Amino acid sequence: MNESILLSDPPRFMEAVQEHDREARFRELATVEDRVVCESLRHGLFPGPDSVPSIIGEYTGDFLTFSVGDRRRVYEHLMAYVGNLGGDAATACVAFMMLEPDLGLASTATLDYASMAPLIDDDPMTRPRDALEMVGRGQAANPVAIVGGLLGLCDPRVCTLLERFRAAFSAEGV
């Protein structure tokens, strides 16, 4: 059985995260959990079009066969790294926010993203607006979860942003 280095060897795990060659990275990352957290972190630390296909492939592959509880556990490990790295690393939440079908996990990732990712031009609605733009482009596996996570911010300005999306949701979604 392959052993995860995510928790057993954090310095080695972070070396793998910093490796730009995907094949070399994956030789170090023996488990699905390692690869999902690594590719999520890379999306936050090294944003760009190259990071997107890798995280989508990892997330929507074997990872989605894990129980919701196991996916939540992996998310908690990811957030431990994000908390230590800070800044743009919070963008690592995006895969869990956009690709996760579970309402609770996707809304938690949305709330974390919207409250932790750096603002642009000191605009507190930067990340809620980003999340809603992704929903508007049809990128969310569970758009209602995104809205729920944003409402968790308890900021009335979010409600104003949501007005244009309301018609797109089913009665059940609303």
What SS3 class is residue 142?
coil
Instruction: Say yes or no to pLDDT of 50 above 80.
Output: no
Cβ-proximal residues to 170 (8 Å cutoff; 6+ apart), any chain = none
- Cβ atoms of 33 and 74 closer than 8 Å: yes
pLDDT at position 17, please?
95
Residue 145: name the closest of 109, 91, 94 by CA. 109
pLDDT at position 170, please?
61
What SS3 class is residue 31?
coil
Average pLDDT over residues 92-116: 94
For the entire predicted model, the pTM comes to 0.89
